């Protein structure tokens, strides 16, 4: 199963991605986490240090090609593919791949094209792939999430967050990108404001998987730089994610 977590920047994509991975640990599953956001935050949320990203590898390959260090007849995708496989960080609980961004001023489209190939290449090697997508709508227009089984759209109570969630739904339909299932997750909801918010987001037409309320513990972890995956099992945010995953299993 391939799960993508999307939404406007700052709505809590990385929080949902990291806690979703935490919920899958210990279930005898081969898990791959992919940070596809150029503004990479997933490694820190998972407590992993990253030395090289796919963007770094691509820039190195471009430089080696320009300097004549790679024979013209060499298959550059094979070289890139080999180096990407080497860059996957393996832990006892899950593996992690970070897309990063190109070092140069080039378009990020090339890295997204590589991401599509990576997903195709690795999908048979893992039971579950969790992708923390690029913020906004680009992952749809560049079709990096076209083969996703489960799309989770995260929004906070802000008008802009809800509008982005609506646009993700509309753009996927316009581009004829279909997911086996698509859900909306409401994050940073103040207790007592649920009904008003639900009334607003119901207009989008996306099925709501669950609500994550404001959690002072998350704010504390963010301030201190503590990995979110270390949140206690009984924390409000993690128990909310567990309830949300039960919705997935039911469908």
The answer to whether residues 221 and 235 touch, using CB atoms and an 8 Å cutoff, is: no
List of domains in the chain: 2-249 (3.40.50.300)
Tell me what the mean pLDDT of segment 14-25 comes to. 96
Confidence of residue 141 (pLDDT cuts 50, 70, 90): very low
Cα 166-169-171 angle, rounded to 5 deg: 105
Q: When comparing pLDDT for 116 and 37, which is higher? A: 37
pLDDT confidence of residue 224: 94
Which residues are within 8 A (CB) of 103 and not within 5 positions of it... i.e. 6 or more apart?
A: 55, 56, 59
Both structure tokens of 220: 């504390």
pLDDT confidence of residue 227: 97
**How far apart are the C-alpha atoms of 225 and 202, rounded to whole Å?**
35
Query: CA 138 → CA 58, 69, 105, 109, 126, distances in Å?
Result: 20, 34, 18, 9, 25
Q: Hey, is 236 helix, strand or coil?
A: helix
Give all strands of the β-sheet with 89-90 in edge-to-edge order.
Answer: 89-90, 95-98, 31-35, 128-132, 2-6, 150-155, 181-189, 207-213
Compute the residue count for the chain. Answer: 251
pLDDT confidence of residue 139: 52
Sign of CA dihedral 36, 38, 44, 49: positive
Residue 173 has phi, psi (to 5 degrees) of -70, -45
Residue bearing tokens 């581009």: 175
How many other C-beta atoms are found inside a 10 Å radius of the C-beta of residue 231?
Answer: 23
pLDDT confidence of residue 157: 87
């Amino acid at each position: 199963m391939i799960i993508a977590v999307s939404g406007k920047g700052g709505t809590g994509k990385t929080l949902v991605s990291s806690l979703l991975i935490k919920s899958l640990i210990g279930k005898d599953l081969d898990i791959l986490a992919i940070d596809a956001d150029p503004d990479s935050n997933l490694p820190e949320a998972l407590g992993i240090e990253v030395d090289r990203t796919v963007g770094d590898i691509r820039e190195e390959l471009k430089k080696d090609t320009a300097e004549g260090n790679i024979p013209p007849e060499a298959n550059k995708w094979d070289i890139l593919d080999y180096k990407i496989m080497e860059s996957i960080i393996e832990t006892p609980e899950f593996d992690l791949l970070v897309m990063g961004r190109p070092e140069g001023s080039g378009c990020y489209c090339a890295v997204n094209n590589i991401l599509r190939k990576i997903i195709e290449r690795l999908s048979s090697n893992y039971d579950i792939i969790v992708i923390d997508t690029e913020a906004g709508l680009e992952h749809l227009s560049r079709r990096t999430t076209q083969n996703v089984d489960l799309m989770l759209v995260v929004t906070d109570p802000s008008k802009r967050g809800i509008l982005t969630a609506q646009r993700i739904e509309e753009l996927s339909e316009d581009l004829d990108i279909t997911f086996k299932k698509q859900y909306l997750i409401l994050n940073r909801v103040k207790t007592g404001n649920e009904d008003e918010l639900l009334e607003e987001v119901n207009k989008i037409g996306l099925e709501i998987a669950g609500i994550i309320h404001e959690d002072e513990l998350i704010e504390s972890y963010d301030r201190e730089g503590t990995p979110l995956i270390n949140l206690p099992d009984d924390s409000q945010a993690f128990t909310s994610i567990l309830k949300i995953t039960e919705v997935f299993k039911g469908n």
